[in-house]
Structure 1
Amino acid sequence: MKKIKSLAALGAASLFVANPTWAAGTWAEARSDAMGGTGVASGSYGSGALINPALLAKAQEEDSFTVILPSVGAQITDKDNLQDQIDDISDKVDNYEDVIDSLTLQQIITNPTGSLNLLQGAAGDLAGELEDLRGKTAQAKAGAGISVSIPNNVLSLAFVTKAYAHGRVSSSIDQQDIDYLRGIENSDTVATGVAIDAATNGSDAITRNLNSTASGRAAIVSDYGVAMAKQFDLGGVPVSVGITPKLQKTWLYNYTTSIYTYNSDDWNSSRYRNDDTGFNVDAGFAADFGENWTVGLSGQNLISRDIDTKDIRITNGRTGETKSYKDTYQISPLVTAGAAWHNDLITLSADGDLTETKGFKSEEDSQFVGVGAEVRPLSWFAVRAGYRADVKGNDSNVFTGGVGFAPFNRVHIDLMGLYGEDETWGAGAQLSMTF
């Protein structure tokens, strides 16, 4: 779980090092994230390169060169408290191995009761942890973005770099591990045989009978593109269209190993990591109806790409069978529609995904809807709130909120936070400047 959190942070931090939205889409933008993850119609022209490239063309005469440097966000769901569970099972494994390694034939003969009590207690503790850990998962998401937007009456441009990361840790508990450990705990005869075997042949005689695994999957996708947008007048209706061709690089992590030797430091090993580079494109549309209504449509990653993780093979010490662990990360079109009502004081927004949000094939798809509001009581201060839900019920529903500060209308600081079911929480921040 620690490494999942590190990978989530890496998805944001990687924009600032030699390598490489976290909410409902593939972007992080603190204002929109605070408003329930909406922004397809309600986003500003400066954030258009991250959310909907068509918004780039909606700059007003007073708007100027805008830089977002950066926007970052992260979200963690750990309803089963898996982080502490893994720490606990590591302690139990260490204790179990220490007991096994300390056994000697002389000790078993001279103090059989004491030796068996230690072994049976350690085996029972470890079996209890395995039972409690069975079926539990934890996941994290993160995103970051940098953009430089240049409004123009002929063709608005923006240079954009963004990254989003998604990670998940799960366990696969072998029932025979639990049965084996409970057998030691509950039978003096079995415990004596195991103790003699361990004292004679070493702890490998025990651990080869334990075959539960832990799997960590993570993906980091980074985009490098140039957004272009143009506004047209169609029957008196201002209509904007935009497109972002981009280079896309993906890093995949498939850390699958015995749960008894799980080490978060091994996540980044080349044995479990591979990468892929390709081309993709985002596109968008926005239209203004009267002074107060805007509707929008965005399409992210319009070119589908399926990328396989590395194939990790683990041999079952009990049966000698080798099992393959492999997954496929799906980059697929995500189309979102949005509408917004706005005046000088308030903005109300609603977005809904028309397609599913995909990830690893081993995971369930999601489809998000969100609503949000922004109130601007002062020219330099804004308060925001919203709600986002997964209509498929596979991701956590969350409440969002945040504030924005814009001293002198030159420097913009936006902060957001979220909290939802299944112990889900997150935060984000954004710094932007206009010149």
Structure 2
Amino acid sequence: MKKTHIALAVSLGIFSLPSSALVGGDARSAGMGGTGVASANYLTAPFYNPALMAQSNDSNDFGLLLPSVSAGVKGTENLQDKIDDFQGANKALENLNLNNPDPEVTKRVVENWKTSLKALDNSGLDAGVGVGFAVAVPNSLIAVNVFSKTDVDSMLRLNIDGKQLDQPLPDADKDESRAVVAAMMVTDVGVSLARNIDVPYINQTISFGFSPKIQKISAYQLNERLASFDNGNFELPTQTTDTTAFNLDLGVSYQPVPEVTAAFSATNLIAQELESPKSNGQTTVVQIEPRLAAGVAYDNGWFLGAVDVDLTEQNSFKTEADGKQYARLGAELNAWGWAQVRAGYAISMTDGYEDLASIGLGFSPFGTLGFDLAAQVADQNEIGVAAEFSLTF
């Protein structure tokens, strides 16, 4: 184990964002419901499907993404207020005068303590932060994209101890309700290569791409009594478990006609697991699971429509019952290559996440400098935002 800067990332991810990790790895995709398997451009293709790099226009010679930034949070409504209410009720229970108790006061304090503790059952928070960079050189021989991406997935879970709830007079010092903060940070550094392969007899091509990459994975956990957990202002220990591994992404795409693309991608083909350091004798196992996805897109120059379907479920934490898996819909209106309006919808295929709606805007004066913004919302407690800058020639 060694020290890293993951503590800062976790504290930003959980406690500084507005209140679902974002669906989609860049702002353009996020505005279109997270679609990208068949609709990403050659600059962001490594995040979704490396084969799409081979489908760039002949006018594209160089691209630079610097950077793409995204963040999202999914949490229990009024979670901080509920934690504060319980901690206040817990202090009142600790200060109860047991030598000469007032029966009415005792009853009121005990009922308030039990009610505030029960209100925290099944409560928690999920947060994600992502930063991506890419340098692309498309060409007809072999398209090349050197990329880097860092993602932080973090969660806060409140594990309620029900033993004291059954006691007529609970002992606050014996309550073992816990607050567990766990986080995984993954940094990918790799190169994507793509090429068009001619299909004999039908005068068409299929695009193939692959991305060998190095992954650095860091895992962290904090396990603390809920009664003393300071969710508004606390210092995280910097001890993490770290490992470095090799991984691989693959992709294929096919255009039966110039306007239509059908695609399939397989990312993180080599599954990874890592156990966090112990905190009060407990650990959390984080994981990277292979992701399979299929998509189709229609693009006539001014209108782009895309559909993606996740074929596998993704879960960063092995202890969590529900992961993320979506069917995604997205659309983009392109005004002469200078401005774009985007919208999308992601339909959750698991019980732990809600459907998401998205909107996005893009500005690309002269078709060279690009600036994109996106926002996603499921309800008032599930929000994501993204922004990116790009330069293409």
- Which bracket does the TM-score occupy, shorter chain normalised? 0.7 to 0.9
Aligned match of 2:30 in 25, 28, 33? 33
State the alpha-carbon separation in 1 of the partners of residues 9 and 43 from structure 2: 33
Q: What is the CA distance between 1:86 and its match in structure 2?
A: 2.1
Does 2:255 align with 1:288?
Answer: yes
Q: What is the CA distance between 1:361 and its match in structure 2?
A: 1.5
State the alpha-carbon separation in 2 of the partners of residues 76 and 39 from structure 1: 21
Higher percent of residues as helix: 1
Q: What is the CA distance between 1:325 and its match in structure 2?
A: 2.8
Q: What is the CA distance between 1:177 and its match in structure 2?
A: 2.5
Give runs of aligned pairs for residues 218-297 of structure 1, distance below 5 A. 218-234=183-199, 235-264=202-231, 268-270=236-238, 273-297=240-264
**Hey, what does 1:342 align to over in structure 2?**
299
Q: What is the CA distance between 1:377 and its match in structure 2?
A: 3.2
Q: What is the CA distance between 1:387 and its match in structure 2?
A: 0.6
Per-residue CA deviation, residues 58-83 of structure 1 (Å, 9 max, x unaligned), is 22121121111111111211244323
Give runs of aligned pairs for residues 128-143 of structure 1, distance below 5 A. 128-143=115-130
Per-residue CA deviation, residues 134-184 of structure 1 (Å, 9 max, x unaligned), is 22222122222111111122221111110222222121211222344x526
State the alpha-carbon separation in 2 of the partners of residues 96 and 160 from structure 1: 55
Give runs of aligned pairs for residues 17-416 of structure 1, distance below 5 A. 23-24=22-23, 28-97=25-94, 99=95, 112=100, 121-180=108-167, 183=169, 207-234=172-199, 235-264=202-231, 268-270=236-238, 273-313=240-280, 324-363=281-320, 364-416=322-374
SS at the partner of 2:227? coil
State the alpha-carbon separation in 1 of the partners of residues 21 and 104 from structure 2: 50
State the alpha-carbon separation in 2 of the partners of residues 393 and 289 from structure 1: 36
- Of residues 328-337 and 262-271 in structure 1, the stretch that sits farther from structure 2 once superposed is 262-271
Per-residue CA deviation, residues 336-382 of structure 1 (Å, 9 max, x unaligned), is 11100110210010001122213212112332110111112343111
Higher percent of residues as strand: 2
Aligned partners of 2:253 and 2:264 also within 8 Å: yes
State the alpha-carbon separation in 2 of the partners of residues 150 and 54 from structure 1: 14
User: What amino acid sits opposite 2:29 in the alignment?
Assistant: S
State the alpha-carbon separation in 2 of the partners of residues 401 and 429 from structure 1: 12
State the alpha-carbon separation in 2 of the partners of residues 427 and 325 from structure 1: 33
Aligned partners of 1:396 and 1:422 also within 8 Å: no
State the alpha-carbon separation in 1 of the partners of residues 236 and 382 from structure 2: 25
Per-residue CA deviation, residues 80-108 of structure 1 (Å, 9 max, x unaligned), is 432332233334445555x36xx6x9xx6
Q: What is the CA distance between 1:120 and its match in structure 2?
A: 5.8
Taking a change above 3 Å as real, the CA distance of residues 267 and 168 of structure 1, as seen in their structure-2 partners, is farther
User: What amino acid sits opposite 2:237 in the alignment?
Assistant: S
Percent of paired sites with the same residue: 28
Unaligned runs of 5+ in 2: 1-7
Aligned partners of 1:225 and 1:244 also within 8 Å: yes
Aligned partners of 2:9 and 2:152 also within 8 Å: no
Unaligned runs of 5+ in 1: 12-20, 185-205, 314-323
SS at the partner of 2:129? strand
- Of residues 360-369 and 300-309 in structure 1, the stretch that sits farther from structure 2 once superposed is 360-369
Aligned partners of 2:73 and 2:383 also within 8 Å: yes
Pairs aligned (count) = 380
SS at the partner of 2:47? helix
Aligned partners of 1:332 and 1:358 also within 8 Å: yes
Larger radius of gyration: 1
**Hey, what does 2:4 align to over in structure 1?**
none
Q: Give the TM-score taking structure 1 as reference length.
A: 0.80
- Of residues 232-241 and 366-375 in structure 1, the stretch that sits farther from structure 2 once superposed is 232-241
State the alpha-carbon separation in 2 of the partners of residues 429 and 52 from structure 1: 20
Computed over aligned residues only, the root mean square deviation of the Cα atoms, in angstroms, reads: 2.7
State the alpha-carbon separation in 2 of the partners of residues 71 and 301 from structure 1: 20
Aligned partners of 1:8 and 1:142 also within 8 Å: no
